[in-house]
Amino acid sequence: MKSLGNSNRGLTPKQKRLLYISCIQPIATFGLRCWYKRRTRAFKTNIKMLRLTHNQGARWITGAFRTSPMEAMTAVAGLMPLHLQLKKLFERSVIRINTLHPHHPVLSLLEQRQAKGSTLHPNALERKSKTIRNVIKSPLDSVIDNPSSEIFDPLSEHIKPGHRLVDRHPDKVKFVLMPKNRKDRDEYHNNLNLAPVREPTALHLFTAGIKHKFDPSVPISH
């Protein structure tokens, strides 16, 4: 990372932060579900290594000295505290289990009340004693210990082509794209500012970041 820039030359702090979040963090936290279990030796060891990586990344982004307070340096770098970042990834992975299809093989390894009707595997957690489960420390135990009250249907009718809002009401959904010509952008932004006044009963949504060619007449595929 040092070869890409420092406090005097190379990448800007904004670019460094983007590089760290998009490239380094996903690699460092890969396999989180396999060891993210509190009060275990692996948890403490991996947290210690990740904290060193996180601190080094914050120091690289800000160009601060090694003696700078880590909490303040992380805040200046715009990075989420490590324990909150790991907690977010862990909770997302738990919720993702609830979005699986009822016949997904992972569900057969859980307890019957969370298997969505799937036939339990001979090595399912429900068929293991509490002592054995404490020994194996399965990552799937976190799904049982952190149940979700939300119900997800991976094959819901509302997400199928033809049932979406843009498909059912094409005359009421309008896409307004930013013109490529810079001279026309002033008028474009003025129209956006006046849109809520001209159409007070309409819902106006603004988004950005689309770089590929987009045809409003073609329904968005899932």
User: Between helices 82-98 and 41-62, what is the axis angle to 10°?
Assistant: 120
Token match 């068929």: residue? 127
Same domain, 10 and 61: yes
Query: Are 119 and 169 found together in one domain?
Result: no
Q: Quick one: 104 and 75 in the same domain?
A: no
| Boundary of a domain, candidates 49, 64, 91 | 91
**Does residue 40 sit within a domain?**
yes
Q: Is residue 151 part of a domain?
A: no
Report how far residue 110's alpha carbon sits from residue 97's, in angstroms, rounded to the nearest whole number: 10
Helix (H, G, I), strand (E, B) or coil at 40: coil
- Domain C-terminal end among 91, 108, 127: 91
* Number of separate domains in the chain: 3
| Same-domain status, 75 and 139 | no
Alpha-carbon distance 77 to 62, whole Å?
6
46 falls within a domain: yes
- In whole angstroms, give the CA distance from residue 105 to residue 117: 12
The single residue listed with the structure tokens 């135990």 is: 141
Residues 125 and 55 in one domain: no
Rounded CA separation 101/115 (Å): 10
- Give the pLDDT confidence score for residue 221 in this predicted structure: 46
Q: Is residue 150 part of a domain?
A: no
Q: Which domain holds residue 126?
A: 100-145
Same domain (yes/no): 121, 188: no
C-alpha torsion 95→96→98→103, nearest 10: -170
Q: Is residue 66 part of a domain?
A: yes
Quickly tell me which residue has 């957690």 as its tokens: 125
Rounded mean pLDDT for each run of 10 residues along the chain, 222 residues in total: 70 88 91 82 87 90 86 90 90 82 84 80 84 78 70 73 80 79 81 81 70 51 43
Q: Are residues 23 and 77 in the same domain?
A: yes
Residues 15 and 59 in one domain: yes
Residue 66 region by backbone torsions, left for phi larger than 0, else alpha for psi between -120 and 50, else beta: alpha
Residue 54 falls in which region: left (phi positive, over 0), alpha (psi -120 to 50) or beta: alpha
Q: Which token pair is 46?
A: 């991996």
For 130-150, what is each residue's pLDDT tens digit?
888 777 777 777 776 666 667
Q: Which residues pair with 10 in a beta bridge?
A: 5
Please tell me whether residues 87 and 122 are part of one structural domain: no
pLDDT of the residue at 147: 66
Q: Which residues are paired to 5 by β-bridges?
A: 10
What do you get for the CA distance between the two ends of the chain, in Å? 36
Burial 129-160 (b: 16+ CB within 10 A, else e): eeeeeeeeebbbbbbbeeeeeeeeeeeeeeee
Question: What does the DSSP 8-state code read for residue 110?
Answer: S
- 82 located within any domain: yes
Question: CB atoms < 10 A from the CB of 126, how many?
Answer: 15
